Homo-oligomer: A and B are copies of this chain.
């Protein structure tokens, strides 16, 4: 039931999805129209994606969605259907439609590796190009990163709480149908062992799991017929759902039908901790010592932690995963931090109103380590563009966090498709392991790493 890299398709699936260009807020296009008219559209710009704060009490965030942004980029094209709509709905003028017809992103993107932990202020993505090219991507980039990272951040707490027991993602029915695919992907990045979602399995080479629902038992004249049918079709290694009528009789029938080699039984209701103990004893008494117990039913990271002492082998998680366990979106923003002025010099810019003060200028970022090899600080490197843009750390206690993802329009294929997911799984495992021990506590607290500034020049 664990994902194996060997099962992955050799390359990302061919992308036959239609244009994603209209998954965009209207104002990106009206800003473009005005900027094309006044000549500023071609000013070179740097946009940064970051969050001002983590959800209340959370100690770290997990970046996910980067690979999906890169997969979407070649599909961000305005074809005949999109242009006809924009003209018919009078969204932008003819000059802008001409520009959109030829649009492709030729700029560059850097960012944290997908799966990396992030903290307030971490520049998880930097998009660089003309204003026209880069501003159009704002909505899509944020949609993907905010949702996927919310799911991965919740999922990481769950896999932390489960320690070595596998968790399976089963939340499709409680999420938008396409969001469910992204959620399955994000869950696996954060350590889930598999998903019930077939589209996610196909698209990203994820392990898929699933056996039967209560409807299957109810379809049959009795529970025994249903179990016999399932074992005949799927083998003795299957998982039988034993709580449709009476759990004790269900377990008895299950072992009677499948024998002591039955793969697993699933409990989907009631007091799971108490039932797991009873069912384990019953299975052992019946000689089914290796039959595993799968529990599902509104689990979240707290419920998983509470079951640590119960004889549970596998967790299935749905609703709380796909809704971010109380934090269904991240607060990531896509901010213009530097742009060319009339004389062609890249200048830092920042909104300075009310209480939203942010440093202007491009940032570099690094994680600082203590003597024990654990991370101690998230370091944002600021200062003059000509220094920040070429900064590399001068000591071994700093690990630079920004990696190139798109160079002059060319997407680095290591970050997309099934391989991208596998890379992200490894990145997350490593990134989480080096956080301070307190980072994995479920109780509310401050971010596990303070964000500090290193000013150059």
Contacts and interface: CB of A to CB of B under 8 A. Distances in A.
A216 to B, nearest CB: 5
Contacts of A181: 23
A260 B197 CA distance: 56
A3 to B, nearest CB: 12
Given A234-B34, A243-B353, A244-B351, A177 B43 contact: no
Contact of A323 (B25, B174, B243, B328): B328
B144 A233 contact: no
A232 B349 CA distance: 24
Contact of A146 (B173, B178, B232): B173
Interface in A40-64: 40, 43, 45, 47
A138 B229 CA distance: 21
Contacts of A339: 218-219
For A174, A196, A319, which residue has the most chain B Cβ atoms within 10 angstroms? A174
Nearest to A194: B26
A300 to B, nearest CB: 13
Interface stretch (A202-210, A284-292, A369-377, A403-411): A202-210
A23 B216 contact: no
Number of copies: 2
Given A31-B215, A45-B219, A172 B199 contact: no
A139 B30 contact: no
A180 interface: yes
A27 interface: yes
A444 interface: no
B174 A146 contact: yes
Contact of A27 (B180, B212, B247): B212
B335 A329 contact: no
A213 interface: yes
Interface stretch (A12-20, A386-394, A422-430): A12-20
A269 interface: yes
Given A40-B220, A202-B22, A34 B353 contact: no
A147 interface: yes
Given A40-B229, A329-B322, A26 B353 contact: no
B25 A147 contact: no
A176 interface: yes
Contacts of A22: 198-199, 201-202
A173 B138 contact: yes
A170 interface: yes
B353 A232 contact: no
A456 interface: no
A38 B220 CA distance: 10
B27 A233 contact: no
A163 interface: no
A77 to B, nearest CB: 14
A265 to B, nearest CB: 13
Nearest to A201: B89
B20 A18 contact: no
A175 interface: yes
A211 B27 contact: yes
A225 interface: yes
A23 B353 CA distance: 44
A182 interface: yes
A218 B35 contact: no
Contact of A178 (B176, B228, B233): B176
A353 B175 contact: no
Nearest to A198: B22
A138 B214 CA distance: 12
16 contacts: A22-B199, A26-B201, A26-B210, A34-B212, A38-B229, A138-B173, A138-B213, A139-B177, A142-B173, A143-B172, A143-B173, A175-B176, A175-B329, A214-B336, A218-B336, A221-B341
Given A91-B208, A323-B328, 15 more contacts: A23-B177, A27-B213, A28-B213, A30-B211, A31-B215, A31-B216, A33-B233, A38-B228, A47-B215, A144-B177, A175-B329, A178-B179, A214-B335, A269-B354, A270-B353
